[in-house]
Structure 1
Amino acid sequence: MVMKIKEVADIVGISVRTLHHYDEIGLLKPKTNNTGYRLYSEDDLELLQQIMFFKELGFPLKKIKEIINNPSFDRKEALEVHRNMLVEKRSRLDKMIEMINKTIQHVNGEVNMTNKEKFEGFDFSYNPYEKEARERWGDKAVDNSNVKIDSLSDNQQKLLSNKMNEIYRNLANLLEYAPESDKTQKAIKEWYDFLNNETGHHYSLEAFKGLGQIYVADERFTENIDKFGEGLAVYMCNAMEVFADRNKQ
């Protein structure tokens, strides 16, 4: 049994644009019929499930592609690893839930919590977004951005956030247009200019293109961006790639 792309998107709960992106980057390439429609087989669905497991555990798409295309890749073994990692993740969540329940009892006066107990389960050892940014663009870029933002007043930071959200909403209103359209490219330039003028760091065209790829590769970014419109993260990624490639010339 084969399925069309819309059927697959509805079953999985992801956008058609995301599946298009997976095809474009060679992560999941279904067969096409004579009219060019993508047709997904049972094997494609099994592979997609595997991809979604990796995404749930925070693997970037580039790494997922490397793993599943490796001749030594063993699906059963990978599923067992996924299970073990999810069990560990569940254990951490269980500890957090236990702490919350105890905190509620403490608020109700049923138990007493020490200051140490109030913070068990939290891990503030690193910021995952900052860690990834440092790895991709170096400490200087992140430090400059932090200094820039920290130097702003609360009102200035709020204005900055509002401006950023306005750009997201504007791009979300353009989802019906192709990423390479003039309207979309004008809007994505506003995003490029915003990052370079407001974050305290100059993004090269290559770094800007790489940032767009993170929007799709990292589900944390995808989830936040797609709040403005389903498929916006992939749309921005494609538009940022077009912008970077065009302006290199």
Structure 2
Amino acid sequence: MNSKQIKYTVGQLSKLSNVSVRTLHFYDEKNLLKAKRDNNGYRFYSAYDAALLQQIIIYREMDMSLTDIAATINAGNFDLISALQKQRRLLIERRKTTNVMIKRIEVSIMMAKGEENFDVILKGLPQAKVDEWKSEIKHGENGEEVFEAYGKISNDEIHDYKHDADEWTQRYMEVTHLPVDDERVQAFMKEAYIMLNSMLYKTMDDFKGANYEFLKMTNTEGRKDTVVVDIYETYQKGMAKHYFDAMDYFAENSLKDNEENYIHLT
């Protein structure tokens, strides 16, 4: 059966087009989309009518009045195929624009959630400091990426991480007076390394684990990051330098040439 022979009842066309039967009857009354009659007097629509209905739907979504739509499709030079092709091109362009807008909204949602997670992580520290750090991150070169990354962590995960980080920090502050090569300090660095890997797996796409080069780079950047340093220093004076020195020692003496025995611990 070719397309010219296809027939739709009012109910079938209603389901196919997601247009109510009442609306189809209204379009019929307004001579916008006239139903045909078979030999038994039953209403039906052709495949052409179904295509024409799609064009009417598009015009309605463009806020065209029924009068203008009727004048357009009933004009002697109206070409349904050309009209549909044109609308298809316009809709594809609109879809591209819509997708970009959706992506921006998704990023904004993720960033807002990231800020909330950032607040959770630093809960207990002076709020004025937290607000200052957030402002500094926002105005930084990678501010959007930072909060977007934090936004990927679920509510349960961020509270679990907060608990583990607080517990680790309290214990670590008791050994910061020791040399960074002390085995007790290095045990803390191993714990910190595992937590770092866990966090990055949640926040970085295609993250394969913090190898030696990655950890060294992270430490170098951390030393220069005024927010990161200030967070450590807010917990305890001198903590930032001790931590990065100790983590560098861990990288050089435990992780280097032995990555396979550490990365899998995540």
TM-score (norm 2): 0.38
TM-score (norm 1): 0.41
